[in-house]
Structure formats: C-alpha cells, structure tokens
Structure 1
Amino acid sequence: MLLINAGMVNSSSMNDTGDKALKDLFDNPVDALAAVRPFMIVDEPHKFPTRDSAKTWGNIKRLKPQYILRYGATFNDEYYNLLYRLTAVDAFNDGLVKGVRVFQEEMQGGMDAAVKLVSSDGKEAKFELNEKDKKQTFKLAKGEDLAQIHPAISDLKIDK
C-alpha cells in the first residue's frame, strides 16, 4: 500500500531521474508506480478537479491506475457511477457534520415545538414542525420569515 498526498503527486521529485533501480527497469517514481497499475483511493476528491487542465488529476492519471475510487462526502457534478449519495441535509440530520455552528432561537411559548430542516434546493427550504405530536410541513423561499412556521420564531429569514 502506498499513501501519497497531492503535494507529493505534484512534486518535481516524482519525475526526477536517478539510477536505474528495480531490475534496471525504472529510473523515476512515476514510471515505477505506473508499471504496478495501482488501485487508487482518492480521499476528498472535491479537492482534485477532474478537468483535463487540472494538474493534480493529470498527475494521478500518469500513474495509470487500473481503478480509481473517489471517496468523499462532497461532490460537484463531475461524478459518475455513484454508489451512495449523502446530501448535506442528510448529513446534518444524521449528526454526521463536523464543525458546524448552529444558531438556536429560544422559542418563548413554544416549548412543545420542534422545527426540523427537511431539505433545501437553494431556492426554497422545506421544514417540519412537530408540535404537541402533530406534524406540519412548510416550504419557505429565500427572504421569507420563519415566523410562518411558528410565531415563537420571529425575525429570522431564509437567506441561503
């Protein structure tokens, strides 16, 4: 197993020629690694754009991997053969998101109420209000006030 980071993949030392080693076949690390045809796991692939002009991705392809597994939680639209999708809302609702600061509004008079963000597509957000064992669903667009969900949540508007 070889663990390598973007700094090393892009290092000029990967192309430096030296004495022939490994049965006198290879004189630089790129050729030696490419001959093995590695199975690659790319952690946090969103850091490595896959367009042809991207330096790191180009250097990864020079290693001639037989398979590339892009393992991450954040993908743009440049993926294919997706095995599992975990959206930001799913990660948030499942308690998997790290480093998130949450603003919690004190709900005066609404102690028996809970509001949950169900989904968001950038244009509107879907919320679920659970109050006294009754569930209601609300859709709010950008700029709308959360007071529409519950009067105890005032002066908060949908921004992003």
Structure 2
Amino acid sequence: MTEVAFHFNAPDRLGYACRLLRKAYLKGARVLVLVEEGERAALDAALWTRGAGEFVPHSGPGDPTLVQVRSPIHLACEASDTHGASVLVNLRAQMPPGHERFDRVIEIVTADEVDRNQARERWKRYKMLGFEPQRHDLQLSPQD
C-alpha cells in the first residue's frame, strides 16, 4: 500500500521541496512533483540555481521525451504519466489523482492557514480511502 506522509510547517514550500528533491536524487529515487502551473517555472529555476554543486537534474512537460525519460525528477501539473517514479511529491492544493500508483506520497504543507486547511481536507480524504498518513512537523525536526 502507498505510504503517505505530510511534512507540515515548511517555512518555504519551494525551498523545502528543493532540499527534499536533492536528497531523493542523491538516493537514486525517481520522483514526480505535482506543482501548480504558476509555481512550476519558479521550482524549475530554484532547482537550477540552488548553489554550487547542488543542481538537481529534472525535466518538465515541455522538455524532449529523451530528457523526460532520463530525468530522475519530473515536474508536472498533472499526474497523467508517472514517468517511472515511485515517489510523488504533491505541492498542489488538491489531492493527487492516481496517488495509489506510487510507493510513497509526500505532501508539503506550509504554515499558511489556507494551505493547512487544504492539507486537512486531503488528510481526511486519505483516511477515508484507508490510508494512514504520517505526520512530520518540520518545526520539531531538523530539515537537512
């Protein structure tokens, strides 16, 4: 069954996502990141400019198929294709459709009240579907 984890109190959604994706890349994971269209370009730029030696190879929907197939991280607005990923990182307000196709789903939630309320609704929905989400409070744990 898919493991679902909520990472609460991310101080900066995109910054935290970059750190998380870098860790996943270094461990050899393949990850699909669902992001709102308006945030996709910002996340793409952040992954390119994190710092010396911290580039995370990734692709997006506009990249050539060869690049998408070889990229360990794929940024998308829809989960129509898993791109061979076993991990799904959700940065969207909605529950990701097809989440059960992944071994692991990570929901990144900021301290913003609107974001938290949307996360609560996703949490309830996962529970209704029989999943037991894990809670990781980033204010209580190290973020490296």
TM, length-normalised to structure 2: 0.25
Q: Specify the structure having the higher radius of gyration (Cα).
A: 1
TM, length-normalised to structure 1: 0.23
Q: Which has the higher contact order (CA 8 A, sep 6+)?
A: 2
